[in-house]
């Protein structure tokens, strides 16, 4: 494994940012606790049934993705919605740019969409002169800070209220807002409400599209997506093409799992099921609806050993469960999806060359797999990605290549194994002090940076065995 200096720089910067780390530990700790409590309430056995059911639902959908997408598209078109099929992120961006131009849109208000982060939509629209405002509180905070989300469901988890107050006061024309959560939220409500009142185009993400009804489901606790979809004359919903369910019956299962996994709630406060364009005499709701379905690397995962990663419902519980995420936060991962799901998605979507090393940013503790509501074997995928990196891409590190070739040759034969550990014991003496090693050359110097290491003992177990076995009758 070769760790790129760029990744090293990112995580070292993160480790040094005590304010951020404190905030992330607090946030993930809270979410983890709430989730555990929710599962306790549901009962372990019923929770296991929920996960099995959800996995089975997702598996079926992914293996029949073409059918469900066709059905969804036809139903959306039938209800007067427009559909854009975007093979790449660029195609999706271009479509929305053209729409903004056609509508002569000045004010674009968004509710949270991870795919829009993935395709870098905001900078493109801003470049055209549109004012783009994120309406999810967390997303708005990081927009003001000119940053990217550090957590899938709590995008500004890494910030504390003093930092938020500074950001808000920079756009505030009234009296200074104190760094108290209630005041900050009240300001956000009032400021963002003004944006909603002048909305030309609303852009939302999509938690689940329902194939048989041509509907999209958007879940928010704040209600911002609800306002966007009620007031925007033109509404654009961006969805990753795998975010689809056959009917509202499956939706009931998924919504129940999503809220509990993400925040420990029984249900997200606002779950909106929308078929797009207003009908008859309706006065609210969009007059124009555009569903942008994005591939952007997803189709190549179908049928592969990584197919199950498409089960993901973006609840973020693998992030909260991950000891690495909890200690470096989201930005160190480098792309939009952090944590274990990011360590798998980033190399698969963006390329092994760019993000392959993320597969090594894990202790392989398996907490992600256990936390996942749709049972994605993230843990196994991290192993598989490492193997791909070594064998398929020949991207092992030279030193490590030699080490493991040598190790394999030595450890497959007892005599060579025993010889090599005896040699190590013989030559460790310059490093040993009072039975332990505290300083040494690379690579053990990395270990010794934080911990001592016991010295190899005078007797190995296999040297003790004959004595132990003296009394045993064969």
Residues 154-173 that bind another protein (CB under 8 A): 154-157, 159-161, 164
Site string for another protein, 303-322 (x = CB under 8 A): xx------------------
What is the footprint of another protein within residues 443-472 (CB under 8 A)?
443-444, 446-447, 449-454, 456-457, 459-465, 468-469, 472
213 binds another protein (CB under 8 A): yes
What is the footprint of another protein within residues 388-417 (CB under 8 A)?
388-391, 396, 400, 404-405, 407-408, 411-414, 417
215 binds another protein (CB under 8 A): yes
**Peptide bond preceding 443: is omega within 30 degrees of 0, i.e. cis?**
yes
- Shortest Cβ 261–another protein spacing (Å): 15
Structure token digits, residue 160: 């504390």
Closest CA to 322 of 312, 333, 306: 333
CB atoms within 10 A of CB 290: 21
- Report the C-alpha gap between 159 and 157 in whole angstroms: 6
Our CB check for another protein shows the closer of 107 and 220 to be 220
Interface region with another protein, contact rule CB under 8 A, candidates 117-125, 333-341, 346-354, 435-443: 435-443
Our CB check for another protein shows the closer of 213 and 346 to be 213
Site string for another protein, 101-130 (x = CB under 8 A): ------------------------------
Our CB check for another protein shows the closer of 129 and 416 to be 416
Interface region with another protein, contact rule CB under 8 A, candidates 100-108, 120-128, 137-145, 170-178: 137-145
281 binds another protein (CB under 8 A): yes
Within 284-397, residue ranges assigned H as helices are 317-321, 323-328, 339-350, 352-355, 367-371, 378-387
* Plot region of 130 (φ>0 → left; ψ -120 to 50 → alpha; else → beta): beta
- Shortest Cβ 344–another protein spacing (Å): 14
Half-sphere exposure of 429 (CA within 13 A, CB side): 5
What is the footprint of another protein within residues 248-267 (CB under 8 A)?
248-253, 255-256, 263, 265-267
3-class secondary structure per residue, 331-364: HHHCCCCCHHHHHHHHHHHHCHHHHHHHHHCCCC
Interface region with another protein, contact rule CB under 8 A, candidates 56-64, 114-122, 311-319, 335-343: 56-64
Q: For 200-255, give the DSSP string.
A: SEEEE--SEEETTTTEEEEEESSSHHHHHHHH-SEEEEEEETT-EESSHHHHHHHH
- Report the C-alpha gap between 176 and 197 in whole angstroms: 24
What is the footprint of another protein within residues 4-33 (CB under 8 A)?
11-12, 15, 23, 26-27, 30-31
């Amino acid at each position: 494994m070769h760790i790129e200096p760029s990744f090293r720089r990112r995580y070292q910067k993160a480790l040094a940012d005590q304010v951020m780390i404190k905030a992330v530990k607090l946030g993930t700790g809270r979410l983890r606790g709430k989730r555990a409590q929710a599962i306790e309430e549901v009962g372990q056995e019923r929770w296991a049934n929920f996960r099995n059911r959800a996995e089975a639902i997702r598996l079926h959908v992914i293996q029949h993705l073409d059918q469900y997408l066709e059905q969804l598209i036809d139903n959306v078109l039938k209800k007067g919605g427009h559909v854009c099929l975007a093979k790449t992120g660029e195609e999706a961006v271009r479509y929305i740019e053209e729409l903004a131009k056609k509508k002569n849109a000045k004010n674009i208000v968004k509710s949270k969409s991870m795919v829009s982060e993935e395709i870098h939509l905001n900078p493109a629209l801003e470049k055209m002169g549109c004012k783009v405002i994120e309406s999810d509180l967390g997303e708005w905070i990081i927009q003001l800070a000119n940053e990217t989300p550090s957590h899938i469901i709590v995008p500004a988890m890494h910030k504390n209220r003093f930092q938020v107050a500074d950001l808000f006061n920079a756009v505030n024309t009234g009296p200074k807002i104190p760094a108290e959560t209630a005041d900050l939220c009240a300001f956000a409500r009032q400021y963002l409400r003004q944006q909603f009142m002048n909305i030309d185009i609303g852009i939302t993400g999509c938690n689940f599209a329902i194939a048989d009804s041509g509907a999209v489901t958007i879940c928010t606790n704040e209600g911002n997506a609800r306002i966007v979809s009620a007031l925007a004359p033109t509404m654009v919903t961006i969805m990753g093409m795998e975010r689809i369910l056959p009917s509202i019956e499956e939706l009931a299962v998924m919504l129940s799992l999503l809220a509990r996994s993400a925040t420990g709630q029984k249900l997200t406060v606002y779950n909106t099921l929308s078929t797009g364009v207003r009908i008859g005499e309706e006065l609210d709701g969009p007059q124009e609806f555009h569903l942008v379905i994005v591939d952007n690397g997803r189709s190549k995962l179908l049928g592969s050993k990584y197919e199950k990663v498409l089960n993901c419902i973006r609840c973020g519980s693998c992030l909260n469960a991950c000891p690495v995420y909890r200690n470096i936060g989201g930005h160190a991962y480098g792309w939009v999806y952090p944590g274990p799901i990011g360590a798998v998605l980033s190399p698969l979507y963006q390329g092994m060359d760019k993000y392959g090393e993320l597969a090594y940013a894990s202790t392989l503790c398996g907490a992600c797999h256990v936390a996942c509501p749709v049972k994605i074997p993230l843990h196994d995928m991290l192993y598989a990605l490492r193997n791909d990196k070594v064998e398929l891409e020949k991207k092992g590190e030279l030193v490590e290549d030699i080490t493991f070739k040598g190790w394999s040759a030595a450890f497959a034969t007892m005599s060579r194994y025993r010889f090599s550990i005896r040699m190590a014991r013989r030559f460790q003496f310059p490093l040993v002090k009072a039975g332990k090693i505290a300083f040494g050359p690379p690579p053990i110097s990395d270990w010794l940076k934080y911990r001592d290491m016991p010295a190899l003992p005078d007797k190995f177990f296999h040297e003790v065995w004959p004595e132990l076995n003296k009394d045993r009758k064969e």
